[in-house]
Each structure stands twice: as structure tokens, then as C-alpha cells.
């Protein structure tokens, strides 16, 4: 797989590549922050506002039970959301840019 230097320079400076990198970083950052906020929010709510998760929603069942299990599901679904975005949007643009670099 040989790539000549001018091609490299062209692609690195192209608008489409710069946009791709920006979008990728934006998606990664936002999803990371969401996960951080949700998890540390959960932890801090226990430290400072214990009554929230101890609140009874049945005779014995507490709010904490669905929230705790829900958090586990949420973490997984977040990875699923990223995977779907990457498979649909990101990969398509990557393929186009790779073709430009490698096949001309």
C-alpha cells in the first residue's frame, strides 16, 4: 500500500478530513461526558442525597433498584448508540477518504 507524500498532504488539509476528525472527537467527548455525569451523579446522589435511592416505590422495593439496574443497561446502550453511529456515518466517510488517498 503506497501513498505518495502530496496525496497525504492534500488529504490532511482537506475540509472533509478535518470535518471528520472534528465530528469524531465531538461524538467521543460528548458521550464520555454523558457517561461521567451519569455515573458520578449516581455516586454523589448516594453520598449527599441518600433518600433519593432509598425512596420506596412499592411495599419494599426502592427507587434505587430500577435506577441501579437501569444504569447498567444505559452504559451498554450508550456503547450501542456509538457503534450504530460509527457503523452508519463514520465508516462511510472513512471509506470515501481512504479511497481518495489510496486509489488515485
Partner 1 sequence: MENFQSTLGQVNIASIIIFFVFVAITLAITYWAAKRTKTTSEFYAADRSISGFQNGLALAGDYMSAASFLGIAGMVALKGYDGLIYSIGFLVGWPIVMFLIAEPLRNLGKFTFADVVAFRLKQRPVRIGSSVGSLMTIIFYLIAQMVGAGSLITTLFGFPYEAAVILVGCVMIAYVLFGGMLATTWVQIIKAVLLLGGATLLVIMTLSRFGMNPITLFEQAAIKYSDKVLSPGGFVTNPWDALSLGIALMLGTAGLPHILMRFFTVPDAKQARKSVFIATGFIGYFYILTFFIGFGAMVLVSQEVVSSFDKGGNMAALLLAESVGGQFFLGFIAAVAFATILAVVSGLTLSGASTLSHDLYVNVIKRGKSDESGEVRVAKVSTLLLGILAIVLGLTFKGQNVAFMVGLAFAIAASANFPALVMSILWRGFTTKGAVASIVTGAGLAVGLIILSPTVWVDIFKNSSAIFPLKNPALFSMPAAFLIGYIVSLMSKEPEASDKFEEEKLRTYLGIGAE
Given 19, 26, 28, 37, the residue binding partner 1 (CB under 8 A): 28
Per CB under 8 A, does 26 bind partner 1? no
Per CB under 8 A, does 37 bind partner 1? no
Segment (H or E) for 21: helix 15-48
CB 37 within 8 A of CB 45: no
Beta bridge pairs of residue 56: 62
What is d(CA 13, CA 34) in angstroms, rounded to the nearest whole number?
Answer: 31
Per CB under 8 A, does 41 bind partner 1? no
Closer residue to partner 1, CB minimum distance, 35 or 89: 35
Minimum CB–partner distance for residue 15 and partner 1 (Å): 14
Amino acid at each position: 500500500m503506497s501513498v505518495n507524500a502530496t496525496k497525504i498532504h492534500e488529504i490532511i488539509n482537506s475540509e472533509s478530513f478535518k470535518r471528520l476528525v472534528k465530528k469524531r472527537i465531538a461524538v467521543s467527548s460528548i458521550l464520555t461526558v454523558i457517561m461521567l455525569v451519569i455515573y458520578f451523579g449516581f455516586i454523589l446522589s448516594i453520598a449527599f442525597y441518600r433518600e433519593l435511592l432509598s425512596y420506596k416505590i412499592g411495599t419494599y422495593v426502592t427507587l434505587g433498584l430500577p435506577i441501579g439496574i437501569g444504569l447498567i443497561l444505559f452504559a451498554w446502550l450508550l456503547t450501542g448508540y456509538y457503534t450504530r453511529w460509527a457503523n452508519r456515518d463514520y465508516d462511510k466517510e472513512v471509506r470515501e477518504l481512504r479511497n481518495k488517498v489510496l486509489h488515485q
